Amino acid sequence: MLESIIQSSRIELGKELAENGVASNQMDDVFGLAKDSILSNFKSSATGGDVNGILNLFNGKQSISGSPLVKNIIGDYSSQLISKLGFSNATAKSIAGIAIPFIMNMINKKTPDSGIPENDLLSMLGGSAFTGGKNSVLGKLKD
């Protein structure tokens, strides 16, 4: 799911990122790091016991701009842009502040209007939640 969301957002989001200092030859890396940051932060949040942070985000109980999880993803992504791609701090923060909320909004649009029932999310986060199986949270995001 995450891969298809990122692919579908490349044109619209890519234009905005280009206006904020991303060269066309950097786009693949910029989008790849966004996906990696989102997935690793979901995993860290869930394995660290913050299931509610993920649940609230997917169920629309917390705005994307007010979500501590999204703020963590933005911070991590910004750091990755600096360390791996050499962006300046200001440019990395700008890119992260645009890309992550955009992608998270796209994820929320793919979530059913009724949200994800807590029991379903909790079962998805159980034992093999992050092994990449089709029924895991990351498995569903990767599809």
pLDDT category, 131, cuts 50, 70, 90? very low
92 neighbors 81 (Cβ within 8 angstroms): yes
Q: Which pLDDT band holds residue 82 (cuts at 50, 70, 90)?
A: very high
pTM: 0.79
Distances 99 to 12, 52, 112, 125 between C-alpha atoms, Å: 11, 23, 22, 25
Confidence tier at 126 by pLDDT (50, 70, 90): very low
